[in-house]
Amino acid sequence: MDCPSCSTELERKMIREIEVDECPDCKGIWFEDDELRKAKDSTDSDLNWIDFEIWKHKDRAKARSKDLQCPDCRKALVAIDYSDTDVEIDYCPSCKGIWLDKGEFKSIIKALTDELLTKSFSDYVKASIEEAKEIVAGPEPFLSEWKDFVTVCRMMQYRLFIENPKLLEEAMIIQQTNPIK
């Protein structure tokens, strides 16, 4: 496969345990269908439950023609702005592959981490309810949905203590006076 940006032959690269194709010259990365989600999940387990949605804001996600060809199926790629970031995802509507220019994968991870860190306790309560529903009727296997639910509950606990530092102090006092045996 050749790089859609500079036509250099792509090389296999590992992002944790996910094998992707990277351009040795421009450092862009080609993610085949679902590899981007898997790479995101393997990069930070706290991000697993946040779904990577290129169509997150359908009202703002306008696909624009791009003068790039998919390295896999050779069809035209379209450009989509990712959420509130400066990342422009080059997407293949045919094979669902995604091309990211140098540094854009890190920018997406940073945006998702920022989203994670700025959620309120109320946001986490809502997310935990949604994740609980997905345990029963979600698109992923039970164990995956369960892990997502547990992660959201853990993040909700952290947010509760961040928003209520006195509560954390009291919990620490109780824990110290009544250690679990």
pLDDT digits (tens, 9 = 90+) for 122-162: 999 999 999 999 898 877 889 888 998 999 999 999 999 99
| 82 and 147 part of one domain | no
| 106 and 21 part of one domain | yes
| 39 and 98 part of one domain | yes
Among 118, 138, 165, the domain-final residue is 118
Residue 2 lies in a domain: no
pLDDT at 103: 94
Residue 61 lies in a domain: yes
Nearest partner of 51 among 13, 28, 80, 83, judged by Cα: 83
Bridge partner list, 78: 65, 91
| 95 and 166 part of one domain | no
Query: 10 Å Cβ neighbour count for 71?
Result: 24
- How many domains does one find in the chain? 2
| 19 and 60 part of one domain | yes
Class of residue 36 by CB neighbours under 10 A (exposed 0-12, middle 13-18, buried 19+): buried
| Residue 179, pLDDT above cutoff 70 | no
More confident residue, 19 or 80: 19
Structural domain that includes position 160 = 121-176
| 23 and 81 part of one domain | yes
| 132 and 46 part of one domain | no
Query: Average model confidence (pLDDT) for the chain?
Result: 88
Residue 69 lies in a domain: yes
| Residue 82, pLDDT above cutoff 90 | no
| Residue 92, pLDDT above cutoff 90 | yes
| Residue 55, pLDDT above cutoff 60 | no
> Contact, 68 vs 99, CB < 8 A?
yes
> DSSP letter string over 16-69?
TTEEEEE-TTT--EEE-TTHHHHHHHHH-GGGTTS---TTTTTTT---EEEEEE
Residue 4 lies in a domain: no
Residue 16 lies in a domain: yes
Tens of pLDDT, residue by residue over 62-73, are: 678 888 999 999
